[in-house]
Amino acid sequence: MEVDAGCPILHVDMDAFYASVEVRRRPELRGKPVVVGGAGPRGVVSSASYEARRFGIRSAMPGMQARAKCPHAIFLPVDMREYISASRQVMGVFRDVTPLVEPLSVDEAFLDVSGAMRLFGSPAKIAADIRARMADELRLTCSIGVAPNKFLAKLGSTRAKPDGMIVIPVDKTLEFLHPLPVSALWGVGERTQETLRRLGLTTVADVANASVSMLRSALGQALASHLHELSWARDSRRVTTHRVEKSIGSETTFDVDQSDPAVLRRTLLSLSQQVAKRAREGAVAGRTIAVKVRFADFRTISRSRTLPSPTDVAQEVYRVAWELFEPAQAGQRIRLAGVRLEGLVASEGSSHQLALDEPAHGWRDAEVAADAVAARFGKGAVGPASLVRIRRG
């Protein structure tokens, strides 16, 4: 039997994606510690090259801490436009192999290649070909797990990093899975891990051999059943080609705590523009607008309001966001502000009820026109005058 027989699921995870994209367009950075994000006293690392990771730098680490670990690292700003463009190229390679592609983020996806084997060969060969195309055509590297199901494929790609591939044969799944720590099971965070540790369960094998009634008493019915199934390498989820986004959000952490209403207004407007533009690009609109406020003392609150009809218009998002934000802020110093659009529906299927004094053509037409100008001439080509100071400052 072929080692990859019965292993039609691939999980492909790009290696240090943002950093790799930056190195691709700046070849002189190859082999150097590159960090994306982390600028400013409160910046957070978005991605780090493997050269930077050798110094202990990780995603989500505060930029100040990353600089302390590697003062000579090269810090670059986040450029989502470039990463999304690269992501489209990556997903295009996947879809050349199979239509059954389930993106999890801009840099990883599940593939079901069961229908592609007659044309392209075994799952392992398909995975090897994908890695070769990434290197030759896109000048990027990826790690791939090849397995009978999604859970095992994801574990495989994690353990194949960086720039590797692991095949988990059907008859070797428990041999691969059971020695792993309980944290390898999806759904086991720090609190669940501590609960399992108190029960004397530290490996996946321990969970597999524990009584379900004991797990149920400690974790509840749903989680106990979920973990027991995974511990025996059982995962019946299919690769789904459509993921429904539940919300779209954007937030920013100020370099210095802010209480100036003018600065906060401009920030809320900028965040609202980002959220609405992403909604229009995704052909969705949201019915609920929410704001997030983190104060100087790290206390965090959120407020939301549901509209009569969905919107993808930045000015409408901003108007409601500020109405929610202003009383919540109440002159206090703010560390972080965020805006989120929730309750998403397809925009072509949504209707907008005009107010009595609202023109038939208004803000949305202007914003769609601005999208077209920005697509042709660049992000800063057009926008609200009140944001000029942010863009140029």
Q: Annotated catalytic sites, by residue?
A: 108
Contact yes or no for 161/167 (Cβ under 8 A): no
Residue type at position 242: H
Contact yes or no for 48/34 (Cβ under 8 A): yes
User: What is the sign, positive or negative, of the torsion defined by CA atoms of 252, 245, 307, 375?
Assistant: positive
Could you tell me the two tokens for 124? 């392992």
Pairing of strands 334-346, 284-295: antiparallel
Angle at 225 between CA 219 and CA 245, to 5 degrees: 90
Contact yes or no for 37/44 (Cβ under 8 A): yes
Q: Mind giving me the DSSP string for 225-247?
A: HHHHHHHTT---PPP-S-----E
Alpha-carbon separation of residue 63 from 33, 36, 74, 77, 151 (angstroms): 14, 10, 12, 12, 32
Contact yes or no for 300/250 (Cβ under 8 A): no
Is 107 flagged in the annotation as binding?
A: yes
Instruction: Name the nearest CA neighbour of 148 among 175, 182, 178, 173.
Output: 173
Residues contributing to the annotated binding site: 13, 107
Binding-site residues for Mg(2+) sit at: 13, 107
